[in-house]
């Protein structure tokens, strides 16, 4: 098991990040959505992380011709998706598995989706149950809940589904099924989750529109979609680690360049701003996604905050935000965040276990937690194979020093994380 030691950094820093990892969510979708076109898609700045490479490899197994030039990718889809001669390995990516389940449910053929030991323990019935209800033939462990997923694709019925879960992965899987259904389908969630799927598919020519009542209308495809021509922006979730580092380190500043400013992706920055950090957003372009720069500056001691709204927009950043909460004045509270328990790890218990080791008083709830802000003490943290937990406590190490165990998982989403971190502190 690979470990790293982060040394406490006692000076200020001025960091410009032009090489933040490309957006993971958008990279996954580029690999998958390109299969819906009949022409070659061009994707620049594709994330070369283990998870997204898995999605790209699956596209190849389904018959696509993929050409790689570093992070610049072209994908020529087949005239018809073909049955693979082997299982489809999604690695650690819940996004890859759930979106491919939605796509392949409507494709004639037999497909088996699997992943690593962590992914095989994550719940899949949130997508398999509604897909089965519209005619998908899916078998897996625990009556449809655990991978591997065995899919026999075929004709799908139209649906009207009010999801009990606010999840971009569930929504995307159902949209991918809906555009293959026999008639118009409708999907609704209580709170708008990340909307990359809707934005990108609309940009490709699909009719996926949300009404004033919150229902998303999904029309079946009558012809192949236009190919993608996109440069994947930087990932605000990845950049947020260094935003927190700036907010907790006196006289420090970070500029994150060319990042998506999609409102469903920058909520964590808004919370950090509410806690007292100085943050500005500068939009530069807006095609598939609004893209620009985010500047974060230390602005004094942070204040505690209660987080209970827009949780679906925060689910990946809450571990890093918890580090800021641990150093803020007062008691911070996180509510309505039960979804944290079914990510790469149970992030509620994993994060609180780490903070407790660092001397922070915490209180655990079923759907959230409380953190009594004080100071952090150096400790040894087990990431439990969760890349965001590993990186969050690495950022905590800038403040107090830290040893992180099981860091191989970071390669799934942010391969150059430690290259950037080494610009502001020493690693051992």
C-alpha span between 344 and 342 (Å, rounded): 7
Measured between alpha carbons, how far is 386 from 341 in angstroms, rounded to an integer? 12
Residue 338's CB is within 10 A of a number of other CB atoms, namely: 14
Q: Residue 335 in contact with residue 368, Cβ under 8 Å?
A: yes
Choose, from 316, 386, 406, 411, the residue flagged as catalytic.
316
User: Cα–Cα distance between 302 and 388 in angstroms, integer?
Assistant: 22
DSSP reduced 3-state for 361? strand
Whether 411 is catalytic is: no
**Structure-derived torsion over alpha carbons of residues 221, 206, 51, 294, reported in degrees to the nearest 10:** -170
Closest listed residue to residue 235, CA positions, set 409, 19, 385, 43? 19
**Got the DSSP string for 41-110?**
EEEES---SHHHHHHHHHHHHTT-EEEEETTEEEEE--SS----SS-EE-TT-HHHHHHHHHHHTTSSEE
Ramachandran angles phi, psi of 180, nearest 5°: -105, 0
Residue given tokens 């993971």 in the structure block: 24
DSSP 3-state percent helix, strand, coil across the chain (nearest 5): 35, 25, 40
Contacts (Cβ under 8 Å, ≥6 apart) of 287: 203, 230
| DSSP label of 264 | T
Q: What is the largest CA-CA distance in the chain?
A: 62
Peptide bond into 16 cis (omega under 30): no
Give CA–CA dist 65/67, Å, rounded.
Answer: 7
Buried b (16+ CB within 10 A) or exposed e, 145-176: ebbbbebebeebebbebebebbbbbbbbbbbb
CB 74 within 8 A of CB 116: no
CA–CA dist 247, 241 (Å, integer):
10
- Catalytically active residues are 316
């Amino acid at each position: 098991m690979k470990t790293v030691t982060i040394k406490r950094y006692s000076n200020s820093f001025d960091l410009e990040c032009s090489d933040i990892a490309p957006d993971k969510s958008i990279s996954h979708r580029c690999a998958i959505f390109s299969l819906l076109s009949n022409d070659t898609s061009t994707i620049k700045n594709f994330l070369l992380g283990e998870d997204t490479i898995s999605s790209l490899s699956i596209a190849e197994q389904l018959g696509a011709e993929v050409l790689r030039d570093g992070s610049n990718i072209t994908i020529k889809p087949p005239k018809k998706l073909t049955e693979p001669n082997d299982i489809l390995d999604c690695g650690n990516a819940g996004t890859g598995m759930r979106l491919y389940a939605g796509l392949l449910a409507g494709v004639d053929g037999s497909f088996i989706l699997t992943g690593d030991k962590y992914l095989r323990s994550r719940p899949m019935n949130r997508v398999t149950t509604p897909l089965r209800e519209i005619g998908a033939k899916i078998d897996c462990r625990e009556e449809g809940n655990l991978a591997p997923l065995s899919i026999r694709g075929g004709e799908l019925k139209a649906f009207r589904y009010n999801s009990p879960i606010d999840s971009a992965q569930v929504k995307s899987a159902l949209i991918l099924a809906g555009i293959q259904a026999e008639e118009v389908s409708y999907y609704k969630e209580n709170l708008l989750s990340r909307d990359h799927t809707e934005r990108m598919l609309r940009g490709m020519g699909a009719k996926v529109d949300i009404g004033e009542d919150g229902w998303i209308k999904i029309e079946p495809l009558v012809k192949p979609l236009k190919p993608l021509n996109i440069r994947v922006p930087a990932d605000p979730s990845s950049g947020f680690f260094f935003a927190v580092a700036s907010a907790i380190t006196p006289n420090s500043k970070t500029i994150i360049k060319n990042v998506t400013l999609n409102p469903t992706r920058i909520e964590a920055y808004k919370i950090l701003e509410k806690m007292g950090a100085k943050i500005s957003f500068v939009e530069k372009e807006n095609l598939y996604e609004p893209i620009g720069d985010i500047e974060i500056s230390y602005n004094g001691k942070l204040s505690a905050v209660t987080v209970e709204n827009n949780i679906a927009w925060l689910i990946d950043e809450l571990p890093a935000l918890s580090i800021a909460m641990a150093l803020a004045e007062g008691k911070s509270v996180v509510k309505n965040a039960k979804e944290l328990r079914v990510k790469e790890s149970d992030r509620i218990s994993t994060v609180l276990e780490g903070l407790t080791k660092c001397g922070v008083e915490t209180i655990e709830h079923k759907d959230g937690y409380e953190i009594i802000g004080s100071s952090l003490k150096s400790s040894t943290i087990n990431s439990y194979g969760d890349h965001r937990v590993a990186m969050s406590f690495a950022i905590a190490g800038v403040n107090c020093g830290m040893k992180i165990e099981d860091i191989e998982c970071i390669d799934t989403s942010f391969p150059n994380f430690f290259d950037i971190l080494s610009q502001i502190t020493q690693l051992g």
